[in-house]
Amino acid sequence: MYDSSQAGSRGAMNAFEPVEIDPYMWEIPRTGAMRVPGRIFADRQLMEKAREEKAMEQVANVACLPGIQTASLAMPDIHWGYGFAIGGVAAFRMDDGVISPGGVGYDIACGVRLIRSDLVAAEVADTIPALVHELSRMLPAGVGRGGKIRLGPREMDRLLVEGVPWTVSQGFGWARDLEVIEDGGLMEGADPARVSNRARERGHVQQGTLGAGNHFAEVQVVQHIFDADAAAAFGVFEGQLCVMLHSGSRGLGHQICTDFVKVMGGAAARAGISLPDRQLACTPIDSPEGRDYFAAMACAVNFARSNRQVMTHMVRESFEYVFKMPAERLGLDLVYDVAHNVAKFEEHEVDGAKQLLCVHRKGATRSFPAGHPDIPARYRAAGQPVIVPGDMGTASYLLKGSAAAMRRSFGSTCHGAGRVMGRRAAKRMIQGHELRQRLEAQGITVRAGSSKGLAEEAPEAYKDVNRVVEICHQAGLSYKVAKLRPVGVIKG
């Protein structure tokens, strides 16, 4: 029997066995303080990994939170995180549910965007090393690394409130980019007054920067098309040269999470919420602390999307410099931008009735189906583009959302391959210079801020992205459209 009083320790959850519901979904039965069951989308091999690192304990802990609906969910890239497992999804009622910084993560609105081109990779293969070099010169990468853009207090406030539309108005990108960014690049409800001075200090020089960890810019080639109609709708073709960006809200978002984790512990106690793990610090959605956190989080969402927008502008400038041709003629259009660390107010069907819910996705991506009103008009017949980065030595994927995801996972799917090895363990096992040589032997040009940082993100540190994506495809959470392989990698 699950003893909820012990749930804060990593070894507390060994008394249960998840039940296999179908080949790609397992259920943790509701027991003890759990209000709903836990459900994990995985095959047998990935379930063993989740069991080994106790990530299932975190899924069960989240199921204890007030107002949670249907189930505490986890995607196939599940691994241990702060409070919520990375790969976790949970939806809460508005009247008695909670909002939790641990259910969003420290890198608020970390996400991915894909930029297509009209270039055929094989025809410009000799130019790719020069392109990677120029991109590495233009995109600052590394821990705490700032860029050339300095935001004053008024500019910061406008950015935090107005998001990517303001950034585009300042000359960073094209107006049509806004059509293919989640929420049009603007999360409503942001209030800069809820952002601390320390968060502002950390963020004011970090627009247009990659950061470190698993963030990257990759030059990629479309290796295979699975769904010709969706690929055509997304502007993607076999052999095409593309660029994928993965970054977030940098120091600003990290500080906002840090600030509110401190606030939430006391708020949970005042609201009479008993937590199975103190890292699940939370508060009622409509409490003063809940409203303040959402307003600050929305600022970080706008900051993160703007960060990727500025980098998109820099990618276009890099292509123009290398290919001596305007970005418009090169066809450097944004395919889509989607975040995977966020809490959003969305309408979903629960027990046959539509409800407005607060959906937390931590290391999980929206996967809305064809016809959904939140999908850009140009993609509405195909479904929402879903971008799933892999490790830098194998592949990434472009998928599309599904109706099944709305029924099974609150319109959510995986966000990447998911780690199987911690960063310290990866550095002990793998030498950065050897990894660089191996990648370059595969025809992948590498630019990295440090050998240690490169080693942390070695392919061996991640699950097999092909397996993770196949599970999502078979489970109906998202469907494969195209597979992309890296030919150039820029990391911090």
User: Are 301 and 105 within 8 A, CB to CB?
Assistant: no
In the chain, the amino acid numbered 140 is P
Q: Could you give the angle at the alpha carbon of 265 between the alpha carbons of 259 and 267, nearest 5°?
A: 100
> CA nearest 144: which of 245, 254, 257, 261?
254
H or E, element range at 279? none
| 478-491 and 216-225 strand pairing | antiparallel
Q: Quickly list H helices, 204-249.
A: 228-234
Neighbours of 122 (CB within 10 A): 9
Distance from chain centroid for Cα 432: 25
Beta strands in 303-457 (DSSP E): 334-339, 341-350, 353-362, 364-366, 385-388, 396-401, 412-414, 445-448
Coil, helix or strand for 447?
Answer: strand
User: Are 56 and 41 within 8 A, CB to CB?
Assistant: no
The reply to whether 415 belongs to the active site is yes
Query: What one-character DSSP code corresponds to residue 392?
Result: T
* CA distance to 216, 292, 294, 411, 443, per residue, from 260 (Å): 27, 9, 10, 27, 44
Catalytic residue selected from 215, 254, 415, 473: 415
SS3 string, 294-332, reads HHHHHHHHHHHHHHHHHHHHHHHHHHHHHHCCCHHHHCC
H or E, element range at 436? helix 432-441
> CA nearest 376: which of 145, 98, 231, 181?
181
Coil, helix or strand for 267?
Answer: helix
Residue with the two structure tokens 């793990």: 277
Helices 128-138 and 288-323: crossing angle in degrees, nearest 10, is 140
Residues forming the active site: 415
